[in-house]
């Protein structure tokens, strides 16, 4: 379990979701992000904006995140409560929503990304060393 103090002072406790739920989130994020164009001339602030807009506007990503939220707890001084449909209803809790989404997504997606990078790193090295 990972514990994060949010900017509001609330505490988020993240338990990684089961494989199927984490994989569904990973696949939903990949599906959304494959439409984001990146090349050597692309402004990184534009890439970040496109990633954020694609991810936060996706109903599929949101549904997968809510499955992962079921294993997390949120505490604004009222005890550790499971995240549910009412968690972010209070206006003061809404400031934590984006941070909670990013933290939960990171904890569930990062293990897949580490192995993806490990598998593709040798392939990328071969491509970079191939004469044009």
pLDDT, block means (10 residues), the chain with 132 residues? 95 98 96 80 79 90 98 94 95 95 96 78 71 58
What is the domain extent for residue 107?
2-128
Whole-number pLDDT of residue 99: 97
75: β partners: 11
Distance between CA 101 and CA 98 in Å, rounded? Answer: 5
- Looking from the CA of 63 toward its CB, the CA atoms found within 13 Å total 6
- Looking from the CA of 18 toward its CB, the CA atoms found within 13 Å total 4
Q: How many CB atoms lie within 10 A of CB 60?
A: 14
Whole-number pLDDT of residue 131: 62
Name which of 59, 70, 58, 54 is nearest 22 in CA terms. Answer: 70
Whole-number pLDDT of residue 132: 55
Q: What is the DSSP letter of 19?
A: H
Distance between CA 74 and CA 78 in Å, rounded? Answer: 9
pTM (2 d.p.): 0.83
Considering its fold, how many domains does the chain have in total? 1
Whole-number pLDDT of residue 130: 65
Non-local CB neighbours of 72 within 8 Å, separated by 6+ positions: 12, 13, 14, 15, 82, 83, 100, 104
């Amino acid at each position: 379990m990972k514990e994060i103090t949010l900017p509001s002072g609330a505490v988020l406790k993240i338990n990684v979701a089961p494989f199927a739920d984490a994989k569904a989130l990973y696949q939903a994020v990949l599906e959304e992000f494959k439409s984001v164009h990146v090349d050597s001339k692309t402004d990184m602030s534009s890439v970040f904006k496109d990633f954020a807009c694609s991810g936060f506007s996706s109903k599929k990503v949101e549904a997968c995140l809510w499955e992962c939220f079921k294993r997390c707890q949120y505490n604004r001084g009222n005890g550790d409560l499971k995240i549910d449909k009412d968690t972010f209803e209070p206006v003061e809790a809404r400031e934590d929503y984006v941070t909670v989404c990013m933290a939960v997504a990171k904890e569930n997606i990062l293990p897949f990304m580490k192995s993806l990078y490990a598998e593709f790193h040798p392939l990328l090295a071969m491509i970079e060393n191939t004469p044009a």
